[in-house]
């Protein structure tokens, strides 16, 4: 059993802290936000993440998981310190590392015995060196520490599952001794034969950016193929299925849609472009992926306008799904924001519903109407738009949807409905990259 702390209780810190305590270690999750810590202690979590509450409750009960807002004391009590604070987008797309630097300084001031300092936050290549420098320059003793880059690959909405069953664990460090200690942290995974791989620190930092940017690129690629398929009369769903059967391509992350969102892809792609610019190395593919995503978000409104015969003014449009993906209340960079804002600018009215993200969206659009279920939302609307592929929309009763709408017009930006059924029921509809007049 190791004594571990995780600094920062965002979704990365909270899931990691709870997950590592579940592996049998003693973990303190700490944050400077006292209110947040108090709320968590009362059982009120700052994020919605399936399975997280149960994981936290179980480990709090077993006394393996504690919460604190005293960062200094927490660091002193720990042998391994995980840095899991946010690295939001800063000026010109560069990652803002101020929170990471603050934590590094606190570590330096509270270095009371040998520790492993491990960064989970997504940080630009070279940050490890900077963190080491900050600690070395600010500690007032000769106590030693080692540094590890251990990037996370958790997806919101399935973060607990991804933590407990990862594809790989990447440990960037300078010595085998440190690597062995980190293997002990992740011991249960090792026993389950999950690969735990040692790399250099800078390589581990790059793996994170390169993974996210590649996935963003894959989505932008299939979105562009979808747009071309629309014009040329092909069905992108079938194209994606069939290219995905090539083992070199794989079917994952080939779902066309309204453009990627979230707190990671938009920020990390821009940060990678920024790094490449600084290094004076062209990275045209990622720049193109970013541009394609901006266009994809705009294109959704253009398609909606076409579906409504260019008349948005005075129309009531129901938006079903507000979060950037299902199973999360996170609306950061969600395509729903772009489409709602364009509808409002064009003089349309918006009725909105998300199973859990209504409150988050209210902070951005306080004056649109929010509902507690899809049925009430679509009633008497001129059109319904699916923006997030929540399961409850997948199984929605299309006959009832048609009855409730003023006019049976549907825009399915996530391609969740059977087009034949929509045609049979007499919907006027649009999708992303699919053929409407199916003949087979
Ligand atoms: C992403 C990565 O998938 C994680 O591996 C990584 O750890 C995380 O960022 C991070 O850096 O913290 P996340 O942003 O939670 O995870 O969500 P994803 O499932 O990757 O989806 C991102 C966006 O892409 C969503 O808007 C989703 O709707 C969209 N998407 C995804 C598509 O449009 N099509 C697809 O085929 C897949």
pLDDT > 60? residue 440: no
- Domain assignment of residue 87, given as a range: 3-199
Domain at 194, CATH number: 3.40.50.720
Taking CA 67 as the corner, what is the angle to CA 63 and CA 70, rounded to the nearest 5 degrees?
A: 130
| 237 within ligand 1 shell (Cβ under 6 A) | no
Per-residue confidence (pLDDT) for residue 378, from 0 to 100: 98
- Segment 354-373 mean pLDDT: 97
Structural domain includes residue 420: yes
351 with 267, same domain: the answer is: yes
**Averaged pLDDT for residues 336-342:** 98
Q: Are residues 252 and 348 in the same domain?
A: yes
> Is 345 a residue whose pLDDT tops 80?
yes
Of 367, 349, 355, 427, residue with least CA distance to 391: 355
Q: 316 C-alpha to center of ligand 1: Å?
A: 30
Of 199, 229, 261, the domain-final residue? 199
Angle at Cα 291 formed by Cα 287 and Cα 269, nearest 5°?
45
- In the listed set 174, 199, 224, which residue is the last one of a domain according to the structure? 199
Question: CA–CA distance from 412 to each of 72, 168, 241, 394, 438 (Å)?
Answer: 50, 35, 19, 11, 16
Output the CA 90–ligand 1 centroid distance in Å. 21
The CA 177 to ligand 1 mean position distance, Å, reads 34
* Same structural domain, 247 and 194: no
- In a domain? residue 227: no
Q: Is the CB of 11 under 6 A from ligand 1?
A: no
Judge whether residue 252 has pLDDT over 90.
yes
Q: What is the pLDDT of residue 94?
A: 87
If one counts the domains in the chain, the total is: 2
The pLDDT, as a whole number, for residue 306 is: 96
Decide if 312 is inside a domain. yes
Q: What is the 3-state secondary structure (H, E, C) of 195-259?
A: CEEEECHHHHHHHHHHHHHHHHHHHHHHHHHHHHHHHHCCCHHHHHHHHHCCCCCCCCCCCCCCC
| C-beta 258 within 6 A of ligand 1 | no
Q: Which of 111, 112, 154, 155 has its CA nearest to residue 131? A: 111
Shared domain for 124 and 43, answered yes or no, is: yes
215 in a structural domain: no
CB 365 less than 6 A from any atom of ligand 1: no
Q: Do 304 and 379 share a domain, yes or no?
A: yes
Shared domain check, 241 and 193: no
Nearest alpha-carbon partner for 344 in 379, 368, 364: 368
Do residues 195 and 241 share a domain? no
**Would 350 be classed as within a structural domain?**
yes
Name the residue of 47, 249, 265 to mutate for ligand 1: max ligand atoms within 8 A of Cβ. 265
Q: What is the mean pLDDT of residues 309-325?
A: 97
Q: Is residue 228 part of a domain?
A: no
What atom in ligand 1 is closest to the CA of residue 255? 36
**140 half-sphere exposure, CB direction, 13 A CA radius:** 3
Centre of ligand 1 to C-alpha 126, Å, is 25
Nearest CA to ligand 1 atom 37: 253
pLDDT in tens, 410-438: 999 999 999 999 999 999 999 999 976 65
> 206 C-alpha vs ligand 1 centroid, how far in Å?
18
Same domain membership, residue 263 and residue 124: no
Report whether residue 324 contacts ligand 1, using a CB cutoff of 6 Å: yes
**Candidate of 89, 154, 205, 221 to mutate for ligand 1, largest count of ligand atoms within 8 Å of Cβ:** 154
Does ligand 1 lie within 6 Å of residue 152's CB atom? Answer: yes
Angle (nearest 5°) at CA 254 between 155 and 247 = 100
**Segment 10-41, tens digit of pLDDT:** 989 999 999 999 999 999 999 999 999 999 99
Q: How many other CB atoms sit within 10 Å of the CB of residue 63?
A: 9
Q: Tell me, what's the pLDDT at 64?
A: 96
- Mean residue pLDDT across the chain: 95
pLDDT at residue 437, as a whole number? 61
- Whether the predicted pLDDT of 307 surpasses 80: yes
The residue whose CA has the least distance to atom 18 of ligand 1 is: 155
pLDDT of residue 95: 87
Please check whether residues 315 and 400 belong to one and the same domain: yes
> According to the model, what pLDDT value does residue 154 have?
95
Residue 261 Cα, ligand 1 centroid: separation in angstroms? 7
Find the 155 Cα to ligand 1 centroid distance in Å: 6
pLDDT (average), residues 320-334: 96
Question: Taking the CB of residue 79, how many other CB atoms lie within 10 A of it?
Answer: 15
Please indicate whether residue 221, judged by its CB atom, sits closer than 6 Å to ligand 1: no
Last residue of a domain, one of 199, 222, 247: 199
* Four-CA torsion 29, 35, 36, 38, nearest 10 degrees: 60
How far does the chain reach from its first CA to its final CA, in angstroms? 61
Q: How confident is the model at residue 1 (pLDDT cuts 50, 70, 90)?
A: confident
Model pLDDT, residue 227: 96
Vertex 182 angle, CA 19 and 78, to 5°: 70
Same domain, 95 and 192: yes
- pLDDT recorded at residue 439: 54
**Ligand 1: residue whose CA is nearest its atom 30:** 260
Task: Confirm whether 207 is domain-assigned.
Answer: no
Q: Are 23 and 110 within one domain?
A: yes
| Entry pTM | 0.94
Instruction: Report the C-alpha dihedral over residues 398, 404, 408, 409, rounded to 10 degrees.
Output: -90
User: Which atom of ligand 1 is nearest to 263's Cα?
Assistant: 14
Q: Which distant-in-sequence residues (6+ apart) come within 8 Å of 138 by Cβ?
A: 105, 108, 109
Ligand 1 atom having least distance to the Cα of 262? 14
> What is the pLDDT, as a whole number, of residue 189?
82
Q: Is residue 436 part of a domain?
A: no
Instruction: Tell me the average pLDDT across 53-65.
Output: 96
Q: How far apart are alpha carbons 405 and 399 in whole angstroms?
A: 10
- The pLDDT, as a whole number, for residue 438 is 58
At residue 91 the predicted structure's pLDDT band, cuts being 50, 70 and 90, is confident
Tell how far the Cα of 203 is from the centroid of ligand 1, in angstroms: 22
pLDDT greater than 70 at residue 80: yes
Which residue out of 5, 29, 118, 264 is catalytically annotated? 264
One domain, residues 275 and 395: yes
Respond yes or no: is residue 29 known to be catalytic: no
Atom of ligand 1 nearest to the CA of 330: 15
């Amino acid at each position: 059993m190791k004594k571990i702390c995780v600094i920062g209780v965002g979704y990365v810190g909270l899931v990691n802290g709870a997950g590592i305590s579940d592996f049998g270690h003693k973990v303190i999750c700490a944050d400077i936000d006292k209110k947040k810590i108090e709320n968590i202690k009362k059982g009120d979590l700052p994020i919605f993440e399936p399975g997280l509450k149960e994981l936290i409750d179980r480990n709090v009960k077993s006394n393996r998981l504690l919460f604190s807002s005293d960062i200094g004391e927490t660091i002193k009590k720990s042998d391994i310190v995980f840095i899991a604070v946010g690295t939001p987008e800063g000026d010109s797309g560069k990652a803002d590392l101020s929170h990471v630097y603050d934590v590094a300084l606190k570590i330096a001031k509270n270095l009371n015995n040998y520790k492993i300092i491990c960064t989970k936050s997504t940080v630009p290549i070279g940050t490890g060196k900077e963190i080491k420098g900050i600690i070395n320059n600010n500690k007032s003793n000769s106590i030693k520490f080692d540094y590890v880059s251990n990037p996370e690959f958790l997806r919101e909405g399935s973060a607990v599952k991804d933590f407990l069953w990862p594809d790989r664990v990447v440990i960037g460090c300078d010595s085998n001794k440190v690597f062995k200690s980190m293997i002990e942290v992740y011991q249960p995974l090792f026993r389950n034969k999950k690969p735990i791989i040692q790399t250099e620190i800078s390589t581990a930092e790059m793996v994170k950016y390169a993974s996210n940017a590649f996935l963003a690129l894959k989505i932008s690629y299939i979105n562009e193929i979808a747009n071309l398929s629309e014009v040329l009369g092909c069905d992108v769903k079938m194209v994606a299925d069939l290219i995905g059967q090539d083992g070199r391509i794989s079917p994952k992350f080939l779902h066309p849609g309204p453009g990627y969102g979230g707190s990671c892809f938009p920020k990390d792609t821009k940060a990678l472009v920024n790094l490449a610019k600084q290094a004076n190395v062209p990275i045209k593919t990622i720049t193109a992926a970013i541009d394609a995503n901006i266009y994809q978000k705009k294109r959704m409104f253009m398609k909606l306008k076409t579906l409504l015969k260019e008349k948005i003014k005075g129309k009531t449009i129901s938006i079903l799904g507000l979060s950037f993906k299902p199973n999360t209340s996170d609306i950061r960079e969600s395509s729903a924001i772009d489409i709602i804002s364009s509808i409002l600018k064009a003089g349309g009215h918006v009725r909105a519903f998300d199973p859990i993200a209504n409150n988050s969206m209210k902070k951005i659009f306080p004056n649109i109407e929010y509902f507690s279920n899809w049925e009430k939302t679509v009633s008497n609307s001129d059109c319904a738009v699916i923006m997030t592929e929540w399961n409850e929309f997948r199984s929605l009763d299309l006959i009832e949807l048609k009855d409730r709408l003023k006019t049976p017009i549907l825009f399915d930006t996530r391609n969740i409905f059977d087009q034949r059924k929509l045609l049979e029921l007499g919907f006027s509809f649009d999708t992303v990259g699919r053929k409407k007049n199916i003949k087979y």
